[in-house]
Structure 1
Amino acid sequence: MRCLMKTLDYYESNAKEYFKKTVNVNFAETRAAFLDNLEDGAYILDFGCGSGRDAKAFKDAGYRVDALDGSAELCRLASDYAKMEVKHMRFTDFHEKETYDGIWACASLLHLPYDALKEVVGRLCAGLKENGILYASFKYGNFEGVRDGRYYTDFNEEKTERLLREVPGLQLEKQWVSMDALPGRDGVRWMNFLGRKR
């Protein structure tokens, strides 16, 4: 998939800059919305963990955590930062079954074309235990294509509802729009949703 390779190449080439830009972003409020759906000590997968910021926060809060990313260099940086092994894996190679209580996909699935994204979300649903929770976030809008050297599939309310209609067994729990947490990104909005495996 050429668009995915282009995006992975971007992160390989810009891993250190991306790590520095994102590792200290305050995401506590969004993590809390996700964790409110989980028991203490639940088993979480950080799917596309980037800098390892959220994987580390979950681990430090006492959760059992696995993390993976498609960029080998980001895996190395995140492993060092979070003090845990981060698995190098393309998103399309994920095949776990009924393993996780929660899956956190923060600004990661957005780099897949919609059809591939839908397939991967189906695999994530299969990887959740019954009643498990999936968090995902996307830039808000209708755009799909290459932007800033990476492939993006933007989401709005209608596309979120369409996705969860098309993925059997995943029910929309909550969706909300938030502003970008990075400094200097005023006006950039994000579509967030929580889906529950039924």
Structure 2
Amino acid sequence: MLDSIDYYNRFAAKYYEETVNATMKEQLNQFIELLPIGGAVLDLGCGSGRDSLFFIEEGFDVTSLDGAEKMCELAQIHIGQGVLNLTYEQLDFDEVFDGVWACASLVHEKPEQLSTILQKVIDCLKPNGVMYMSFRYGDFLGFNSEIDYYAYTEDTLSSIIDKCRENQNIEIIKTFITKDEREEFLDNKWLNIYIRKL
């Protein structure tokens, strides 16, 4: 079993090809409607840089970040600007961003660690800043032969967000479920959630 950084370094080119053309327009458009024009956006776990490029083209001030060095190299070529090679544990921004985009970025984090990581991410947001997250939808923990994923329901994810509320003043704006856009993964469902830092 590989940890997530080793996995994405090893399979960076394959993952890039699988995801770079997937469409997230519904979620992306809902997200930018919640942000100030030209605001600062952190693309957390940017992968191929697909969504970073969307934000750049929409006029946002984009900081892209990924823990896997090989993914950073590919994303930099795709978006035409630098990508920070940092893990989530290394995050150290204090109220810098109007929005944090975490599309399938936190799916490998163990549930018992997720609330701690979320608190670090929320620290990055300015007051009234918005975060988008997506997770595999379901009530199982850890699967796949090469790397662990963790899935959530509305209730299990809400319980983790409630833990964050002990230290962070946040509200859930919206949750909804979508199907995977990639043809080979159409049976997969995703839990989407928008939260705001108050």
Q: Structure 1 length as normaliser, TM-score?
A: 0.95
Q: CA deviation at 1:115?
A: 2.0
Stretch deviating more after TM superposition (147-156 or 28-37): 147-156
Q: Secondary structure at the match of 2:21?
A: coil
- Higher percent of residues as strand: 1
Superimposed CA distance per residue, residues 167-194 of structure 1 (whole angstroms, 9 cap, x where no aligned partner) = 1222111000000011122221000000
Tell whether the 8 Å contact from 1:103 to 1:135 is kept in structure 2 after alignment: yes
Tell whether the 8 Å contact from 1:103 to 1:128 is kept in structure 2 after alignment: yes
Superimposed CA distance per residue, residues 50-71 of structure 1 (whole angstroms, 9 cap, x where no aligned partner) = 0000001100110000010011
- Name the aligned partner's letter for residue 195 of structure 1: I
Measure the CA separation in 1 of the matches of 2:105 and 2:145. Answer: 15
- Name the aligned partner's letter for residue 172 of structure 1: I
Distance 1:107 1:148, change over 3 A: farther
Partner of 2:21: 24
Measure the CA separation in 2 of the matches of 1:28 and 1:166. Answer: 30
- Name the aligned partner's letter for residue 193 of structure 2: F
Measure the CA separation in 1 of the matches of 2:32 and 2:106. Answer: 20
Alignment coverage as a number of residue pairs: 195
Query: Is residue 2:86 matched to residue 1:93?
Result: no
Question: Gaps spanning 5+ residues in structure 1: where?
Answer: none
Q: Secondary structure at the match of 2:117?
A: helix
Q: Which stretches of structure 1, 4 residues or more, deviate above 3 A after TM superposition?
A: none
Tell whether the 8 Å contact from 2:68 to 2:85 is kept in structure 1 after alignment: yes
Q: CA deviation at 1:149?
A: 1.4
**What percent of counterpart residues are identical?**
31
Q: CA deviation at 1:93?
A: 1.2
Partner of 1:192: 192
Q: Secondary structure at the match of 2:70?
A: helix
- Name the aligned partner's letter for residue 192 of structure 1: N
Match of 1:57 among 54, 61, 79: 54
Give the RMSD, CA atoms, in angstroms. Answer: 1.2
